[in-house]
Amino acid sequence: MAAPILAVDDSAPIREMIVSVLAPRGYHVLTARDGREALDKLRLLAEPHIILLDVVMPGLDGPAVVREIDGDDILRSAGHRVILMSSQLRLAARDIPPSAGQLPKPFTRQQLVEIVAQFGG
């Protein structure tokens, strides 16, 4: 059974594209519009998720969400696996956690499927 996925992006078309690519392949995909909504959903979920997480979002951005997960004993112990999505340049910045996977934007449907499979999907 593939790990469920939480797709977090402030762009509705990107969230919809992720769902349209992964759902037909048997993945259970939840979405969140921003970092705060993502954390709220993660706190309600029992099983570890693959989190496709946009880096640049208003309010709580991707690196801040990762810091929140790392600083919360319950979220950290859940075993979520984070894949950060952004431009290649932004993914090279110092605030990007080295523990997270990276999916440079723009990405193809095939690249999306491959990285999710690599992270246990």
Domains of the chain: 5-118 (3.40.50.2300)
* pLDDT more than 90, % of the chain: 91
Instruction: State how far the alpha carbon of 56 is from the alpha carbons of 2, 32, 96, in Å.
Output: 27, 14, 11
Residue 17: count of CB within 10 angstroms of its CB: 16
Q: For the residues 87-109, what does the mean pLDDT come to?
A: 95
- What is the pLDDT at residue 7? 98
pTM: 0.95
pLDDT exceeds cutoff 80 at 121: no
* Average predicted confidence (pLDDT) for the chain: 95
pLDDT exceeds cutoff 80 at 49: yes
